[in-house]
Amino acid sequence: MDNNIDKYLISLARKTSLSEEDKNEIIAKIPSLTIPQKAQLKLALLDYLIIDSEEEILTQVSEEKADNMTLEDLSNLGEQIIHKAVEKEDASVSEADRQSIIQSLKSDPK
């Protein structure tokens, strides 16, 4: 079970903008983490993906355009950020692996 989760977490870690040293340190520790720790790591890595996506999107918006944004524009920008983060997360694991992780978690008595 943990093998699929580990592969998923490793893939997520590689998608972040963390330094290579930090990525390698995280990846080295993944096999020894408990399931709750892996869940916390997943949330942290997803936060990094969102932050990375925010940075990518916001650097594309000129200062002049940002000054004139409406609430609707800001809402659309937020949706773009989330969409980009989800794309990165989706690219980190195949649907078959995702289903395997779900099934293994359902069957795990812990």
In this predicted structure, what is the pLDDT of residue 24?
A: 96
Instruction: Put residue 81 in one of left, alpha, beta given phi > 0 → left and psi -120 to 50 → alpha.
Output: alpha
In this predicted structure, what is the pLDDT of residue 90?
A: 73
0.85 exceeded by pTM: no
Note the helical H segments in the chain. Answer: 2-15, 20-29, 35-58, 63-67, 71-90, 95-107
| C-alpha span between 23 and 46 (Å, rounded) | 14
In this predicted structure, what is the pLDDT of residue 27?
A: 96
| Residue 1 reports pLDDT greater than 60 | no
| Residue 21 reports pLDDT greater than 60 | yes
Q: Where are the domains of the chain?
A: 2-107
| Residue 79 reports pLDDT greater than 70 | yes
